Amino acid sequence: MAREPVAGRVKSRLARSIGAVEALRFYRGAVRAVIVRLARQPFWQTLIAVAPDAALRSRAFPPHARLIKQGGGDLGQRMQRPMRQLPPGPVCVIGTDVPAIEVADVRRAFRLLGAADMVFGPAADGGFWLVGARRRPRVIEPYAGVRWSRPATLAQVLANLSPHKVAFTTGRSDVDEREDLWREGPYFARVVRPSQPPPAAIPGLVDQTATDR
């Protein structure tokens, strides 16, 4: 999932700390890096669900990318739309503002769907950067009553999934604050970094599937 990279319309939290222009520069670089890294892999077909829908005509995305509309609604409705509309088979939906995403993270998610009904890539802020579904024997609807962008977002989704079997791929983080650029900087080529490092180190995430490797 990706938004058309337009100043003032992307990464609003990050823009409050580093400015709209620098936030846009980060987002453009992160989106391109993630798409280039994942879209040409032989292990899956990649579609970029863009917002707004008019971004289907945008030249901001790599020319080889296959674009589809996100459509309207809240985040849950937009993430659920490809789960309902794409041809049969497992589907993983990811964000494109997570520069540390690796091919191995997504491959692991698809592998886990061999036994699990749904898989998540947990994020440090209490949300998730990836959601995947096996989609058989039916498509699960996990987002009723979920409050987005909250520390308990993933916990609320998981509460809706009992008694379904859930698995977890690698934990990653998006970039929402100035300090996040220091942590995620090595993962993308064009990075905006604050002039001074953050006052304290940010703890790393623990890979919750270390025993599955």
Task: List pLDDT tens digits, range 136-181.
Answer: 999 999 999 999 989 999 999 999 999 999 999 999 988 888 888 7
CA-wise closest residue to 75 among 27, 122, 128, 36: 128
Give the pTM: 0.84
What percentage of the chain has pLDDT greater than the value 90?
A: 66
Task: Tell me which of 2 and 208 has the higher pLDDT.
Answer: 2
As its CATH architecture, domain 2-197 has: Alpha-Beta Complex (3.90)
| Rounded Cα distance, 10 and 95, in Å | 13
Top pLDDT among 207 and 47 is at 47
Q: Can you tell me whether residue 123 is helix, strand or coil? A: strand
**CA separation (Å) from 81 to 24, 65, 70, 77, 93?**
27, 19, 8, 6, 10
For residue 109, the tally of other CB atoms under 10 A from its CB is: 25
Q: How many CB atoms lie within 10 A of CB 9?
A: 15
Mean pLDDT, the chain, rounded, equals 86
Residue-wise pLDDT for 100-131, tens only, equals: 899 999 999 999 999 999 999 999 889 999 99
Domain map of the chain by residue range?
A: 2-197
